Structure 1
Amino acid sequence: MKKSLKEEITELRNKIHYHNYKYHVLNNPEIPDYKYDELLYKLKYLEKLFPHLITNNSPTKSVGGISLQNIKKINHIIPMLSLNNVFNEKDLFLKFFNPIKNFLNKNNNNFCCELKFDGIATSLLYKNGQLIQASTRGNGMIGENIINNILYVDDIPHKLQGNNFPPILEVRGEIFMTKKNLNILNKKNILNKQFANTRSSALSFLRLKNIYNDINYKLLNFFSYGIGFIKNKNKLYSHIKTLKRLKNYGLPVSKHTVLCTSLKEISFFYEKIKKIRNNFSYNIDGIVIKIDNFKIQKLLGSTSHAPKWAIAYKFPPQEKITILKNIIFQIGRTGLITPVGKFKTIKIDGVNISNASLYNFNEIKKLNLKIGDVIVVQRCGDVIPKIINVIKTERKNNITTNIIFPKTCPDCKSILKKKSYNKSIFYCSSGLNCKSQLKGYLKHFISRDAMNINYIGNQLINKLVDINLVKNSIDLFNLNINTLNKIPYLGTKSILKILSALEISKKTTFTRFLYSLGISEVGLVTANNLNNYFQNLNNFLNADLKDFCFISGIGKKIACNLYKFINDKNNLYIINKLVNEIGIYWNNTNIINNFFYKKKIVLTGKLTTINRQKIIEKLISLGAIIYNHISKNIDMIIIGKNPGSKLFKVKKLNIIIINEQKLIELMNKN
């Protein structure tokens, strides 16, 4: 039976209220932002066509959601309104730019364009320069009191700088968490919960009841983007100049803020930010455009929901809804079993996506995932696809089946085992007897940072293993014209290039050789630290467990991996054959007489003229020891653009600071 228009609008309102509650109150959104925007847009459209059906409790009349009942409330002096959204230049012109032009009867206006941060809108109240109150936006009229938690956020000053500030100043901005800090939060399981995005993690921190003055609150950051209530506002007339004044008060302000006078300039800024947004350490979902002049802002006014003098110009969605078709289980080079979701192909930012890793069985349990579910897929950092949610309300319309985790290896059929340190992680213990692990190991062995063997790609490795021509890395070097002729579509020229590349790769470095062995959790930097400590292969192979524990950057777990590896007879057999029969070698050259030898170095910031990975490789070749974290034992730090918090720590310690230009000069001398 077809619904009446009134029933359709009522159902639409109920849906939006439900999703508002899930997003703003429970901090557990069920649908992606663009789907919510679609629902709200549809409701606005219907209410515009049929104004007699508008009710006082319509979501179009309010901002955000209600606050949690057990959190103290704060009334905003001036409402914290939301923003209307547009998704293309045509709507930007029709819904924002043109109405302002017609209202003011002038073509050129000054628009302040800023980043739209994906965080928690926050109000900070300063009295005589002292922070006395902090709250979230809440429903726009009443927010949640978060002053106790805010006091631990390093970015937010408790006292404003200088003495030329108003007696009462309400600063508005965004609390957010960087992508890196989200990874730290999830990896260390600080809140005993895994978070899908930076916004939900930031809000969870702001709602914590037990406050601890430790690393936890260093995971949050803040940018100010405007003011609310202020005494002596008549002295201020420009939004962009107000931002500069806030910066002078000691409040952080994004440097990506520009003044535009035309739609063309706004569109240019939008496209520029869209291209570089993945370089930012934090998430943004568009830009915000505001009339710069406060007097004109007042003339234009606001609706109950949003100002007429500002709008959000959003990027295309990074999340899409699709249907989970199947789960397959892949085996990596270390034997770990990884479930991979296969779903109906979707396109995000022009890229077709049809599968995403689910990491381990715990992820499936956490999502309560079933085959046939309607799922939300996010392209994290515009690169890695991830299933972030299940729309459980759709299950009644879809036939779903439970996901059964395999008990045996999908490849070699051996019984799967559980990791002692994490019972949710399963692995195949067959080692290189499992073809999937062998393929993974060989692909690692030939990679650029390892043996760097050209003209052998992943597909060729798969074929060589599948037809049993290669069973270990020794077999790889024993390939000849006759064996390679057995590979379909492999011509004589290609075969000769492969054989030549194998011969060339035999001359390597001790670091590369150690890395190529594929020891669990031993990356290139750790391999270099092993090189610097042991100096030669004989010392490495005769090391004791305590020797590994003495090496900086190697913990108990990696030390055990190393000790177990060098005490495996098969590993020793492979190493002996590679060095003494195949003829892999490296020069024990004297590299002591250079500036970087034995120096403990940290890199931070973006290097613009040279590739970061190549710099690390070069430093390693010069005998440097690369670290990720600052400590009093570090000798020098190499800084690029936007070096971050590491630079502040360095200034307190006696550590040499080298910029990119100086680094190039020093390297050219060696």
Structure 2
Amino acid sequence: MDFQTYKEKTELLKKMAHHYYVLDDPITSDDEYDRLYFELVAYEKDNPNHIDSTSPTQRVGDKIKENFEKITHIERMWSLDDVFNFDELNAWKNRINKYDTNITFMCDAKFDGASLNLTYDKGVLISAATRGDGNTGESILENAKMINSIPLSIPYLDKIEIRGEVIINKYDFEKINKERMQNNESIFANPRNAASGSLRQLDSKITKKRKLKFIPWGFGYFDIDENSFFNRLNMIKKFGFIDTKLSTKCNNLDEVEAFYNKLISIRHTYDIMLDGMVVRLDSLNLQNSLGYTAKNPRFAVAYKFPPIEKQTKILDISFSVGRSGVITPVAELEPINIEGASVSRATLYNFEEIEKKDIRINDNVLIIRSGDVIPKIIKPIKELRNGNEIKISKPSFCPICNSELLVENILIKCQNLQCKARVKNSIIHFCSKKAMNMMGLGDKIIDFLFEEKIINNILDIYKITREMLENKEGWKEKKIQNVLDSIQSSKNIELWRFINALGIEHIGENASKKLVELFGFRIFDISYDELIAVDGIGSESAKSLTIFMETNKELINELLKIIQPTIEKNNGILNGEIVVITGTLSISRDEMAKRLENLGANISSSISKKTTMLIAGINAGSKLDKARELGIRILNEYELNILINHN
């Protein structure tokens, strides 16, 4: 074979692959495809300098990564606000009508999978990244190349970000779970989890075996003179991507509702899980005018499908132990399939819920599950009772460590800090981002350290040495150093983080900051009466904190000696101010909140009569209107800087 023949046969193989994986319309037999595929592989092996990087033969996945690098999206990936019925959809439309009444909508089926951002330049796929936090995701280019419905090249030469959903169809999902069960591996809860887990494999060959598909639903950076979102997306689909034909333009909400009902009618028979419909303004100019809130675009919503309601039977009740020791009753159900997911458990939240609904073992019950929401028991079907139902009793002893439980009204708690379930979850929380911020100690690392008995409690984290990790399978120098550096960086951390990291029931991040500001290190010996006098600290929070401090006094003192947390001083410019932040600023909301807290302000998420100041960025919405109504002091970022610098 000469080079020209190689090029021609490569184009033919691309065409065959496109018809098979994208159009679902094969133009050749599997044998013929395989014959041509291996013919090209043989040529490429003898002529490595002639290899076409966009050939289907280059979807190999030989490289195994140690971890995923971070990559910043050119344009941010936003999550959508949800609406659940026509009235909520209409309310969203009415808010838009304040800006413009001449609007058209673009509606698109919402697939339940994992979002992916592809970047092409000069027609070649150069990067692929998960959504991440919206600004920065994980670079998974090698894995994306394993998905046959993602073209390695497109007939568009300028730079472009193409966004879509990576999915597994229902049949392949069931097949994967059967194989995992046969191999004694944990099964995926639903197709979305399977798609997400398959996409983030360090070994790309595993991704390749999972039969993932990529369905485009939008774009980020795309510099072209076309104002219609619908037209732009159709242009992208013609670049060689799957077109499900489940999108349309609508002139009014009646047409939107009709298309929504059409999608509902096919949701159970369609081979990919659908969990709703995306409704967005078709005009990109109007989209840009409306802008964004802190989390969501104002010009688009996810119109969610009604939850699916099914009947099953409660076979038994088990109890799970949370990181703070709270015991949660869980209904063990007769397995039932809902939207491709086998449901065999449902949380009952607490015993008040059980008593209020009069739920019993052996009851036939109605359960609902909507999208990725945890299955929930709506009610027992009392008409089907036959006398074999058993009332559910509160446990007296911990199901894990068998120690006596503390019962307080609704909550039932295990107080034993050596309880295995509690300790492990406590360590995971202790190391998390909002707590001690040990970035090198994620859930899987902690699972490993715990199972290997390297750590048995929080204190053991600070006893980890290099020698303990060396020669462990999968532990290379970089990974070991990351763990050791993370542990070291947690020392001298802010005191509020340390309080939050302890996982005290009812005491979260905001309460931790407030208590440290008021009491400093006295918080460890604070009385119930002092706490109950603090605005915003109720009796449950005060009781929980004082009991926790007394019960765990020895452990806390040991940790304080090692960590030596600090209290950030503030210059008091904003002492006593209750501040709400809204709109888009030059820095992130979190950064602005931290800056204001360092100046003494208390940050609130909502406007109330107690609010004393609103910091309003670009595209400030309803919070700005409410602040004006209440006569609250309003500052833009420029005015805030003047205030700070003047003081």
- Report the TM-score when normalising by structure 2: 0.48
Which protein has the larger Cα radius of gyration, Structure 1 or Structure 2? 1
- Report the TM-score when normalising by structure 1: 0.47
